[in-house]
Amino acid sequence: MAILEDGHSTLITLENLPNIELCEKTVKPPGISGGGSNDLTSMKNNEWRTFAAKKLKTLTEASATVFYDPIVYESGRLPAQINVNQKITVTFSDGSKVEFYGWLDTFEPDDVEEGAPPEATVTFIPSNRNLAGDEIAPLYIPAP
């Protein structure tokens, strides 16, 4: 079984603004959730509550801790990308990728202090819908 032996360098990119002045320090790729259980417990149960799995899956939020240049506040840069559905790509250290549709939901700066570059957390919410509104599953692209 192959595994990534080192996460460096994992990147996350917005299709509409691939060269934004953000420098990834850590990246949390999206996860996959089954959404919990459906409770099937009824008065016919004798000893145990019973459950069933849900049918649909959820692609969970992705996020990154980034260093940034304050120019990202310029209106045509980061503010213009908030809540804009677009393709988001997580590129892993081996060159493999996960692409999904979603939007940049938050850019939240941390405290700025002497002796350290400014950092922020950015959060991406998957929509699983392309620009035409069609349901689109996340796409895994193997390393070249």
Our count of domains for the chain comes to 1
Let me know if residue 2 belongs to a domain. Answer: no
Please tell me the predicted confidence (pLDDT) of residue 2.
Answer: 84
What is the DSSP annotation of 47-104? S---EEE-S--EEPPEEEEEEE-GGGGSTTSHHHHBT--EEEEEE-TTS-EEEEEEEE
Please tell me the predicted confidence (pLDDT) of residue 1.
Answer: 83
pLDDT tens for the chain, 144 residues: list them. Answer: 889 999 999 999 999 999 999 999 999 999 999 999 999 999 999 999 999 999 999 999 999 999 999 999 999 899 999 999 999 999 999 999 999 999 999 999 999 999 999 999 999 999 999 999 999 999 999 999
Let me know if residue 6 belongs to a domain. Answer: no
Domain range for 110 is 11-141
Which DSSP symbol is given to 133? S
Q: For residue 30, how many other CB atoms are within 10 A of its CB?
A: 21
Residue 88 sits in a domain whose CATH number is 2.40.30.200
Torsion of CA 74, 79, 80, 82, to 10 degrees: 160
Let me know if residue 125 belongs to a domain. Answer: yes
Let me know if residue 37 belongs to a domain. Answer: yes
Let me know if residue 132 belongs to a domain. Answer: yes
Let me know if residue 110 belongs to a domain. Answer: yes
Let me know if residue 4 belongs to a domain. Answer: no
Report how far residue 126's alpha carbon sits from residue 85's, in angstroms, rounded to the nearest whole number.
Answer: 9
Please tell me the predicted confidence (pLDDT) of residue 117.
Answer: 96
Please tell me the predicted confidence (pLDDT) of residue 6.
Answer: 94
